[in-house]
Structure 1
Amino acid sequence: MKCKRYLIGVAATYLLLQTSCSSMFYSNSNVLGQIKQGMSPEETTKILGEPEYRRLDYGLEEWEYRKMLNPLDSEATVIIVRFEEGRLVYMDSFKASERQPVMPEPPVTAPQEPPVVVVPGHKPRPVIRPISDKQFTDFYNKVKARLFKDEQMKLIRAGADNKYFTCQQCARMMSLYVFDDDKMEVLRIFAPRIVDKENYETVTKSLSLFEQEKAMKLLGI
């Protein structure tokens, strides 16, 4: 009789432990091996149960578990699964003590401007700016109004003197002509006066491949 009571007590204790620890222990130690990419949240829940933590971020959903995979473990294993469009796309597991603390990012400070050094007797370099669109349009229309190419080129040389232009303005003046030779003649006049040579493709795209190489050399590219 005494032995029977002892066995009943052991059984009751076992059932109590199973009930109280069911949320902490997994009955299957190979539970991680059952998690497969592409699983639905419902399928994942059947294996891992309800998550302790959930995170949502613009279409992504992340679940976090903290479970003892083995009754002999001294600490819980953290399991993280991530879903995208209703399917499992990521899983990671590690001991809780292995999680690296999140270090605060250092404050971002604006870069300091370098000091301006004024050299006695030294004149600052002048800022070179191209002519305005209105000025160029007037210049372009005057050239276009001339009937002969020689007159046009003469006017271009005179009008470009002591002025600066953009690649877009140069390309527009070149568009007055059909043949590459005439376009290249315009470019030879404009090239030393172009301020944005990094936009050279605006100029070269209207030329043949052979002439494009020459044009890039004129522009110093």
Structure 2
Amino acid sequence: MKKIHVIGMLLFLVLSASCGSMNKMMQVQEGMSKQEIAKIFGTPDYRRFNRGIEEWEYRTLSVVTALYKVTVIAFEDGRVSGMNTFTEEVHESPVVVPCQH
């Protein structure tokens, strides 16, 4: 009985995390500032820029499916100009590196 309870809790946590990610994406609107996006998603995992366009990339790893859920938010003049979401296979074991402050 305990085994079923633990599996149920794990499933609930995985589904909750997926829903949280979806809710974040639905909050993003064209014209939002970088500060507003940072409040929703936090610090980006990757950042790139070229000729006035900046992109922030966020990745969430699903241990159940072994897929990354990737969200890329584009900014022009400091405001959201576009967003793209997709999944990507994990090709190697992710390495967790603690942040140094």
Q: Compute the TM-score of the two structures, normalised by the length of structure 2.
A: 0.62
Amino acid at match of 2:28: I
Asked if 1:64 corresponds to 2:57, the answer is: yes
Structure-2 separation of matches of 1:50 and 1:76? 17
Amino acid at match of 1:64: E
TM alignment of 1:7-46, pairs within 5 A: 28-29=20-21, 30-46=23-39
Give how far 1:74 is off.
Answer: 3.0
Q: Secondary structure at the match of 1:79?
A: strand
* Structure 2 portions without partners, runs of 5+: 1-16, 90-101
TM alignment of 1:118-197, pairs within 5 A: none
Q: Compute the TM-score of the two structures, normalised by the length of structure 1.
A: 0.30
Please, what is the CA RMSD of the aligned residues?
2.2
Give how far 1:71 is off.
Answer: 6.7
Structure-2 separation of matches of 1:27 and 1:49? 17
* Structure 1 portions without partners, runs of 5+: 1-24, 98-221
Structure-2 separation of matches of 1:74 and 1:90? 27
Q: Spell out structure 1 runs of 4+ moving beyond 4 A.
A: 70-73
Instruction: Percent identity, please.
Output: 39
Structure-2 separation of matches of 1:27 and 1:45? 19
Decide which of 67, 71, 80 is 2:72's aligned counterpart.
80
Q: Which has more radius of gyration? A: 1
Structure-2 separation of matches of 1:48 and 1:90? 15
Greater helix share, 1 or 2? 1
Q: For this pair of structures, how many residues does the alignment match? A: 72
Which structure would you say has the larger RCO, counting Cα contacts within 8 Å and 6 or more residues apart?
2
Q: Secondary structure at the match of 2:20?
A: coil
Asked if 1:95 corresponds to 2:87, the answer is: yes
Structure-1 separation of matches of 2:40 and 2:64? 21
Q: Deviation digits for residues 34-78 of structure 1, max 9, x if unmatched? A: 11111100100111111111111111111111114x674431111
Residue 51 of structure 1 corresponds to 44
- Kept in 2, the 8 Å contact 1:38–1:87? The answer is yes
Q: Deviation digits for residues 63-104 of structure 1, max 9, x if unmatched? A: 111114x6744311111110001100010010013xxxxxxx
